[in-house]
Chains A and B, each alone.
Chain A
Amino acid sequence: MAESAVLTNPLRAGMRGERTPQPCAVVIFGATGDLTKRKLLPALYNLALENPLPAGFSVVAVARRPMTNEQWRQYVKDAINEFSRNRPVNPAVWESFSQGLFYHQTEFHDLAGYERLGQLLHQLDHDRGINGNHLFYLATSPEYYPEIIHRLGQARLAHKEGHGHSLTTGHRGRAQTNHQNNHDSHDGDESTTGGWTRLVIEKPFGHDLESAKELNRKVLRVFAEDQVYRIDHYLGKETVQNILVFRFSNGIFEPIWNRRYIDNVQITVAEQVGVETRAGYYETAGAIRDIVQNHMLQLLMLTAMEPPIGFEANAVRDEKVKVLHAIPTLDLVEVSKNTVRAQYGAGWLNGQKVPGYSEEPGVSPTSTTETYVSMKLEVDNWRWAGVPFYLRTGKRLAKRVTEIDIEFKRPPFMLFKNTNVTELQPNVLSMRIQPDEGISLRFGAKVPGGVMRIRGVNMEFLYGSAFAGEPPEAYERLLLDCMLGDSTLFTRRDETEAAWGIITSILDGWADQPIRHLPIYEAGSWGPKEADVLLERGGRDWRRL
C-alpha cells in the first residue's frame, strides 16, 4: 500500500522540486538527549517549515524521564528556538507541527512500555493517517541499542515479516520520474499489514569488528537489512556527496584517476576543538574509532571506488565496500610502521592557552587515548596498487579543515634543466569538504619575465562563488532520505563490518604493543613529528593546509 499510495498519484508524476515523504511517525529513542535536542528536532522542524512534510506527520518521543505531551512540546519548542537555523518558531507552522508531537515514557527494558508504544502508534495510524509508516530512531547511548531492538521485536513493532526480496537490484526501470525514484528502494520494508517500518542507528556501530558483528546479528534478528539505516552524518554533507558528482559527471578526471598518474592521496580531518564534554565517550573511543572508522573511511571509499552501475543505494554501496575489501588488514609490523598515534598537550590556539588532553575534565591524567592518528593504507586493486593513501585526523590541530588531496606524479622529464628551474612541483587536486568548500587544482605557470621561473598557482573553484545558497543540514537530508526509503547515504552491514575489520587490525596491533606514554603534540600544531616521518619514508610530505 505504501508504495502504491504515492506511485499511483498522478498528480505526482513529473513534479519538480522537493521530495515529499508519505505520512509517517518518527519514533525517537533517547528523545531527551543532546543529539535529539541539537540536531534531530531542529532538522524535523526545518523539514516541516521548508519542505512541507505530509499531513499527519508525527514525532513520538520515547525516553525514561516522565513528561507529558504538553511538556514535551514545550521542550521541542525550546530546542528549536535554541538550535534551529530557522528560529524562532513560526507560530502558525508550529501550531500544526506541535499537534503531531507525542511523548511516551518507558524504561528501555520494559516490554509493557513497548506494547503501550505500539498502542499509541496504532492510534496515530488511525487518527493521523500515517498508515503504519514508522521510523524508529535510536539516539540513545549505544549500550541500549540491543535492548531496544530486542524489545521492538518482542512487541511486534519491527514488522520484519513479508521481506521476500532485496532492494534496488538495478532491474527497475531507470526512466522513472524523480519522485518515483525517490521511492525506488523502499518497497522491501513494507510490512504485510501495510506501511513500512525502518530503523535508524546512530554511530558508533560497535567498538570493534566482533562487537559490530554481534550488533548486526541482533539487529537482523528483528529487522531485515533493507529496514536498517546506519547513519554517518558525514554522508549527508553536500560536499561529500559532491565527490561522486565531481568524479563521475566529469569525463576529464576518470582517465587519470589511477596509479599511472596519481602518486598519493592524503585525507585530512583536522579539528581545532578539544574533547569538550565528550570525555566519557572519547576515553573509550579515541580518534581512530571516533573519526577514522567512519568519516575517514567513507571519504576514502568515495575517492577510490569504481563507478557504480547506477546512482542507486546498493549499486553505490557495492562499489564502496569493494574498496574496503581491497585494503589489506595490517599485521603487527605494519601497524608499528604505518600508523602513528599521539595525544595533544597544552598549547596556544587562536590566541588562547588551551590545556592538554590529560588535563581535560573527565580524562584520566594517565590516559593513553589517542587524540591524533595518522596512517598509511594501501588499496590493492588494479586501479590503486602502489598508491599510498595517507590519513590523518586529530583534535586541537592548527586549523579546522577536512580535505582530500590527490597528488599527481611529477612530469617524467625535466625539460627546464638548463634554466633556473631546479624542481617541478606535482599537480595537486584538492577537494575541500569544510570549511570553504571547493575544489582547487595546483599547476605550474611561468613567472612573467625574461628568466625562466616556474611558480605553482592554484586554479580554485569555491562553492561559495558559484552557489551561494546555504545547503540543508546533513541531518535534514538524511532524515528525509530515511522517510523516503533511500538508503544510498547510509552504511550497509557489510560496509560496517569491513571498515571495522581494518580498524580492528590496527587496534589489535596497538594492543599488542602497549605504550606507556603516547607522543605528545602541542595544541595548535599539525601533530607529532612521527607523522611527518611516516611520509618522509616515502619521500613525501603532508600537504600544508
Chain B
Amino acid sequence: MNAEPTRQDVLAVNIQTIEDEWARLWKESTAATQANGGHPATRNSVLNLVVFTQRVATAQAVDNALDELCLHHPARVLLLVAESDLPEQEMQAWIDLSVYKQEVRRGQNTSEQVMIEAKGEAVGFLPGVVLPLLAANLPVFTWWADVPPMEQAIFERLAGVSDRMIVDSAEFPTIGASFFTLARISRSRQYRAAVSDLNWQRFAPWRELTAQFFDLAPVQPYLKGISQVSIEYAGNAANGRTAGVSNPAQALLYIGWLASKLNWNAVPGQQQHSGETYHLTLRSHEGQTIQVEVRPRSVQAKKKSALITSPQEAEEGAHETSPAWMVSQTVAGALSTVSIESSYKGHTGVFTIRRSADHEHATTACTVDGVPWGQERTVHLDSIGRSELVRAEFESFGHDDDFEDALSIAGALAD
C-alpha cells in the first residue's frame, strides 16, 4: 500500500480564515483533478483528530505519522504545538490537504490538516481555537503526543470536548499522580471522554497469554491460590545507555489488571518501593496474601540501538534504521518476564511468560511441583509501532472498563 501522500503546498493562514482556506483548497484540488480526467478525492472524514504536542520536533514526528494514520482513517486533523515556555505570545496556523492514494484497494481520500503553533500565554487560548474547527457530528480523538500537561487547564478543557483521550504512559515521569488524574477523568460524568493508553495496548498479548494459562479447567483452581507475582520490565540497556528513566507503568497496570479481575485489594501500609523496584502486598477476598515484586531488568540489546528509552525518541527518528517492532517491543518499561506462583491442594504451579532475547517473541511455560506441565510455547509478539497503536485506538469506541479498573488500582499501588 502506498501511504505516500501528495500534498498541496503548506500554507500559512490567519486563524479566522482556516475554514475559508480549506474550502478554497478543496475547490482547487477538485478542479485540478477533474481537468486531468481524474476522479475527485472523496471528502469523507471519519473523525476529528486533535494532536497536542509541546515541541516542534514532536509535531514534525507526528506529521510523518499522520500519513499512515490518515491513509486508514481520513480525518480532520488539528495539530497543536503548545510552547508555553516561550516568552512571546502569538499564534500561527498552517493548513494543507493531503491526498492519500491506495494501491491495494481502489480509491483515494483526502485529509484536512491544520497545524496551529501557540507560544507563551497564547497556549491557554488553544481550546477556543479548536472548538470551532471541529467537524460536526464526528467523534473527537485527542492524542497527547508528548507528556500530557495534566496540571494545566488545557488538559481538562480538551478532555471536555473529546470522545477519546489517547495518552502513552510509557512517557509519564510520575506514574501515581498521572494515573490518578486519568482515572478521575475517565470515571467522571463531567467528561465524556474515554481514556486510552498506548502502553496498555502494548502489553495486550501478555494479558491474553496470562488468561490462556487459566482457560484450562485443571489449571483454573490455581487462580485462587496465587501467592506470588514477579514482574520484570525493561530497564536500562546493557550496552551502557542510561538515557531515560525506567518506567514501571506496564508492570503496574498488569498488576492492576490481575487485581481487578481476581478481586485483590492492596493491604494498607504494606506497599514499598525503592527506586524503580516495588514490593507490594495485596489480599484476595478469600484472605489469601499475594506478594508482588516489580523490578527493572537490564535489557541485553539486540544491537546497539535496540533499546529505545522512550517512544518519543523512536518517533523523532533517533532509530531510523530500527525495524518497527523495536519501537514498541523494546520501549523502556516493556514487560520482560512475568512469573505467577500459586498453590492448589498441596501442589505448586508456576506460570511464566518470558520475552525472548530477540524481543519479538514470548515463551510461555508452566510447571507443577517443578515438573513441566503441558507444552512450552513460543508466540510472536506483534510488531506494533506507535502509529499503529494510535490507529487501533481510532477503532475503539466507548470506555474500556478493564483498563479503567486496572488504572485505578495501579495508581493506588504506585503512590
Contacts and interface: CB of A to CB of B under 8 A. Distances in A.
A505 B281 CA distance: 73
B408 to A, nearest CB: 14
Contacts of B218: 129
Contact of B215 (A13, A20, A462, A466): A20
A93 B356 CA distance: 12
Contacts of A465: 42, 44, 74, 102, 107-109
A175 interface: no
A466 B73 contact: yes
B71 interface: yes
A10 B217 CA distance: 12
B262 interface: yes
A129 B106 contact: no
19 contacts: A11-B223, A12-B215, A16-B204, A17-B204, A23-B215, A54-B212, A56-B375, A92-B356, A92-B378, A92-B380, A93-B379, A460-B42, A464-B102, A465-B107, A468-B1, A468-B71, A468-B72, A468-B104, A469-B72
Contacts of B217: 1, 4-5, 131
B211 A12 contact: yes
A32 B1 CA distance: 34
B62 to A, nearest CB: 19
A512 interface: no
Nearest to A14: B402
A436 interface: yes
Given A1-B217, A23-B216, A55-B374, A9 B42 contact: no
Nearest to B204: A17
A10 B209 contact: no
A13 to B, nearest CB: 7
B104 to A, nearest CB: 7
Contact of A128 (B74, B223, B374): B374
A60 B82 CA distance: 59
A295 B100 CA distance: 34
Given A5-B216, A464-B102, A129 B374 contact: yes
A2 B396 CA distance: 30
Contacts of A16: 204, 396, 400, 402
Contacts of A13: 261
B207 interface: yes
A5 to B, nearest CB: 4
B364 A461 contact: no
Contact of A468 (B102, B376, B377): B102
A96 B204 contact: no
Contacts of A22: 215
Interface of B: 1, 42, 44, 46, 71-74, 102, 104-109, 204-205, 207-212, 214-218, 220, 223, 258, 261-262, 356, 358, 360-361, 364, 374-380, 382, 396, 400-402
A52 interface: yes
B105 A437 contact: yes
Contacts of A6: 215
Nearest to A129: B374
Given A14-B402, A92-B378, A9 B106 contact: no
A230 B276 CA distance: 56
Contact of B205 (A1, A52, A56): A52
Q: Most chain-A CB neighbours within 10 Å: which of B106, B204, B364, B375?
A: B375
B107 A436 contact: yes
A467 interface: yes
A324 B105 CA distance: 34
Contacts of A423: none
Given A92-B380, A93-B378, A96-B379, A52 B105 contact: no
B354 to A, nearest CB: 13
Contacts of B106: 435-436, 462, 464
Contacts of A469: 72
Contacts of B380: 49-50, 52, 90, 92-93
Contacts of B102: 464-465, 468
A15 B402 contact: yes
Contacts of B72: 467-469
Contacts of A467: 72-73
Contacts of B379: 52, 93, 96
A276 interface: no
A11 B264 CA distance: 13
A93 B361 contact: yes
Contacts of A470: 104
A11 B338 CA distance: 15
Given A10-B223, A10-B262, A463 B105 contact: yes
B199 to A, nearest CB: 15
A95 interface: yes
7 interchain residue pairs of minimum CB distance: A464-B105, A11-B211, A462-B107, A468-B72, A465-B109, A436-B106, A5-B217
Q: Name the residue among A50, A466, A470 with the largest chain B CB count within 10 angstroms.
A: A466
Nearest to B211: A11
Nearest to B257: A11
Contacts of A96: 375-379
A466 B220 contact: no
A463 B380 CA distance: 29
Nearest to A6: B215
Contacts of A128: 374-375
Contact of B220 (A5, A18, A90, A437): A5
A333 B277 CA distance: 84
Contacts, number: 133
B237 to A, nearest CB: 22
Given A464-B105, A467-B72, A15 B400 contact: no
A462 B42 contact: yes
A95 to B, nearest CB: 6
B378 A56 contact: no
A99 interface: yes
A9 B262 CA distance: 10
A8 interface: yes
Contacts of A131: 216-217
A117 B178 CA distance: 57
A484 to B, nearest CB: 12
A503 B214 CA distance: 49
Nearest to A1: B217
A96 B379 CA distance: 8
A186 to B, nearest CB: 14
B74 A466 contact: yes
Given A462-B42, A464-B102, A17 B208 contact: yes
Contacts of B261: 10-11, 13
B205 A464 contact: no
Contacts of A436: 105-107
Given A92-B358, A129-B375, 6 more contacts: A9-B211, A22-B215, A90-B380, A92-B356, A93-B361, A468-B1
Interface string A333-349: 00000000000000000
Nearest to B403: A16
Contact of A55 (B46, B377, B402): B377
B42 A20 contact: no
B401 A14 contact: yes
Contacts of A1: 217
Interface string A254-293: 0000000000000000000000000000000000000000
Contacts of B44: 461, 465-466
Given A4-B217, A96-B379, A435-B106, A55 B364 contact: yes
A346 to B, nearest CB: 30
A16 B196 CA distance: 13
Contacts of B210: 11
B409 to A, nearest CB: 15
Residue from B73, B107, B261, B262 whose CB has the most chain A CB atoms within 10 Å: B107
A527 to B, nearest CB: 24
A470 B400 CA distance: 25
Interface string A434-462: 01111000000000000000000000111
B382 to A, nearest CB: 8
A8 B109 CA distance: 46
A396 B302 CA distance: 53
